[in-house]
A and B are shown apart, each in its own frame.
Chain A
Amino acid sequence: SQELEQSPQSLIVQEGKNLTINCTSSKTLYGLYWYKQKYGEGLIFLMMLQKGGEEKSHEKITAKLDEKKQQSSLHITASQPSHAGIYLCGADKGGSYIPTFGRGTSLIVHP
């Protein structure tokens, strides 16, 4: 969807480094989803954020939704090669639980 902007588009990091991926919406969100897609495979649901200021963690991945509910950041601590893939954010703008997706951020982690 053109309404969700993800940055950066791609990221290459050395194993062990921390990194952050951002997702910005032009409209207030009912919910913000984060998914991971391994290359050539389907998407895996990571977490959903609904409340302003909410923060959730999944293993070494932490995501936060800002107070205005228009931006979310996904942070990976001490990255590993297993974190490599495409991270997509999805916006639920109407409370339908049907996300509209951003274009994704491609992450490569070098051992």
Chain B
Amino acid sequence: NAGVTQTPKFQVLKTGQSMTLQCAQDMNHNSMYWYRQDPGMGLRLIYYSASEGTTDKGEVPNGYNVSRLNKREFSLRLESAAPSQTSVYFCASSEGQGQFFGPGTRLTVL
């Protein structure tokens, strides 16, 4: 089992560009999450999906959209990237207690 996989691992964007971060899990989990991690701010929830077909806003959803494509995949889209979105993005999945995290995507917006 690969667990939770994320692509790409690194990305550099210019302000105003768009991109989609991909996430997939092979553990048959119902719930999936997107977090961002910034120095001094800890880990903050952007969006989550409790089950296929549902998505909900987390703590910091502005500037992002998500799609739960199927049970395995949960993507995060930046429509018009801003320097404030420079961060490390983590996808996670869970079924009850304890979340399983992907390796992260390092995004820099110039």
A100 within 8 A of B: yes
The answer to whether B101 and A98 touch across the interface, beta carbons within 8 angstroms, is no
Give min CB distance, A24 to chain B, whole Å.
14
B42 within 8 A of A: yes
The answer to whether B42 and A42 touch across the interface, beta carbons within 8 angstroms, is no
Q: How far is the CA of A98 from the CA of B99 in the complex (A)?
A: 8
Q: How far is the CA of A1 from the CA of B90 in the complex (A)?
A: 16
User: Which of A40, A88, A98 meets B42, CB within 8 Å?
Assistant: A88
Closest residue of B by beta carbon distance from A46: B98
> Which residues of B sit under 8 angstroms from A43, Cβ to Cβ?
43, 90, 92, 99, 101
> Which residues of A sit under 8 angstroms from B98, Cβ to Cβ?
33, 45, 48
Question: How many A residues touch B, CB cutoff 8 Å?
Answer: 19
B84 within 8 A of A: no
The answer to whether B101 and A44 touch across the interface, beta carbons within 8 angstroms, is yes
Interface range for B:
20 to 34
Give min CB distance, B48 to chain A, whole Å.
6
> Which residues of B sit under 8 angstroms from A88, Cβ to Cβ?
42-43
The answer to whether A104 and B42 touch across the interface, beta carbons within 8 angstroms, is yes
Known contacts A42-B90, A43-B90; A98/B100 CB under 8 A? no
The answer to whether A100 and B45 touch across the interface, beta carbons within 8 angstroms, is yes
Most B CB within 10 A of own CB, among A43, A101, A102? A43
A-B contacts, 8 listed (Cβ < 8 Å) = A1-B44, A1-B59, A41-B103, A42-B90, A42-B102, A43-B92, A97-B94, A101-B43
Q: Which 10 A-B pairs have the closest CB atoms?
A: A42-B101, A45-B98, A103-B42, A101-B43, A43-B101, A48-B97, A101-B42, A42-B103, A42-B102, A42-B104
